[in-house]
Amino acid sequence: MGTQGMGETRARAAEEARSRFVERFAAQLVEAGMTRMPARIFAALLASDSGALTSAELGKQLQVSPAAVSGAVRYLTQQHMVAREREPGTRRDLFRVHENQWYEALTNRDSILKRWEDALREGVTSLGPGTPAGRRIAETLAFFEFVQTELSEMMDRWREHRKTLDL
């Protein structure tokens, strides 16, 4: 086999390995509650060398329609897991995984938790803290307040730890 043939064989093997990772990791995300197509798109972006792909590249790699890609990236951008950019020199959109996507996703959850806490506080007040429902809602509120504090402290520790990583 010539040098070119060996290079093609290696490239094909790398692409197959990438595809296996994408499907395996996407399955884990689906098991955790994410819908299938956003999970596949996110895994494909994460596994790309650049961390960014066009809609056409995503469709070709995952063998899905442009509509499927569009709906999935809309969801991922709303969840702050992916950013939409313009591909330089073209009119095509480029979808990029945030450099620190897990931090971004968890930070976004922070504002959601605050809104839930506000609603739960209102529920305790309106149903009465001495009622069974009020006590159950108060416990739920206490849990989310605890998670909020822990999440904030954990993210501070992560920022410090990230500085020590050699990536």
User: What is the spatial distance between Cα 14 and Cα 84, in angstroms, rounded to a whole number?
Assistant: 27
Give the type of residue at 57: E
Whole-number percent of the chain with pLDDT over 90: 53
Residue ranges of domains in the chain: 3-98, 102-164
Per-residue model confidence (pLDDT) at position 26 = 95
CATH of domain 3-98: 1.10.10.10
- Average pLDDT of the chain is 88
DSSP 121-146: HHHHHHH-TTSHHHHHHHHHHHHHHH
Hey, is 83 helix, strand or coil?
A: strand
CB atoms within 10 A of CB 156: 10
**Residue 27 region by backbone torsions, left for phi larger than 0, else alpha for psi between -120 and 50, else beta:** alpha
Helix 66-78, helix 36-47: angle, nearest 10:
80
Q: Which residue has the higher pLDDT, 148 or 38?
A: 38
Per-residue model confidence (pLDDT) at position 125 = 95
Average pLDDT over residues 66-70: 93
